[in-house]
Amino acid sequence: MDGDSIARLGYLALLLAAVGGWVIVEYRSRMGQALRVAAAWGLIILGLMAAYGLWNDIRGPERPQAQVTTENGKVELKRGADGHYYATLRINGHDIFFMADTGASMMVLTQRDAQALGFDPEDLLYLGQASTANGTVRTAHVTLDEVTLGPFTDPNVSAWVNEGALDISLLGMEYLGRFRIEITGDRMILSR
């Protein structure tokens, strides 16, 4: 240990001795009550620390504004607080929320989103495989009749349903590659 660490340790020991001495003097005839009060304060502090540490999990993820269509036929995706870009696509009459993922090759649907689009995840044939950060997962190919992003509509778009746990559907490069992509500041601008 260096000199600063020894000085800090000495300061903490002195502070602990002072507080401990006060507790002994104050509660000398009521040690049981002192232990109950100490335990109560310890649990309160522990609870506050846990709530602070889990706050993002408790409140759930914030969904940023998904997209803004500009007057000249471009779609602007705003960067979320987490640094990712998000979009809502209209697929077969349903709004599906996606994260733009330039590291993904294909458009990937969660099982929940696939079910919302009328595909039964239990009936799909998971013949494909995808390598993810969490390992290899099986995928099932589906064809989406109509996909709309802002003013752009595409028929018969290929997508893959992920058999594994996936929190949000992904817009991979197969779909994003249909656009000219420009990233400026906190916006991803898609145009054709």
Q: Are residues 125 and 46 in the same domain?
A: no
pLDDT tens-digit readout, 164-181: 888 899 999 999 999 999
Q: Are residues 42 and 81 in the same domain?
A: no
- Measured CA to CA in angstroms, residue 37 lies from 23, 27, 40, 49, 168 at distances of 11, 11, 5, 18, 46
Q: Are residues 130 and 41 in the same domain?
A: no
What is the band of 137 on the pLDDT scale with cuts at 50, 70, 90? confident
User: Which residues have CB under 8 Å from 135's CB, separation 6+?
Assistant: none
Q: Are residues 110 and 153 in the same domain?
A: yes
Output DSSP code: residue 74.
Answer: -
pLDDT greater than 80 at residue 39: yes
Burial of 81 per CB tally in 10 Å (0-12, 13-18, 19+): exposed
Pairing of strands 75-78, 68-69: antiparallel
Q: Are residues 178 and 137 in the same domain?
A: yes
Residues 93 and 161: their CA atoms lie apart, in Å, by 18
pLDDT tens-digit readout, 77-121: 888 888 889 999 999 999 999 999 888 889 999 999 999 999 998
- pTM, full prediction: 0.64
Q: Are residues 9 and 99 in the same domain?
A: no
Q: Are residues 116 and 72 in the same domain?
A: yes
Domain termination site, one of 59, 84, 102: 59
Number of compact structural domains in the chain: 2
Average pLDDT of the chain to the nearest whole number: 86
Domain hosting residue 132, numbered range: 68-191
Q: Are residues 129 and 167 in the same domain?
A: yes
Domain termination site, one of 59, 80, 96: 59
Phi, psi of 31 (to 5 degrees): -65, -35
Q: Are residues 150 and 107 in the same domain?
A: yes
Q: Which domain CATH number covers 185?
A: 2.40.70.10
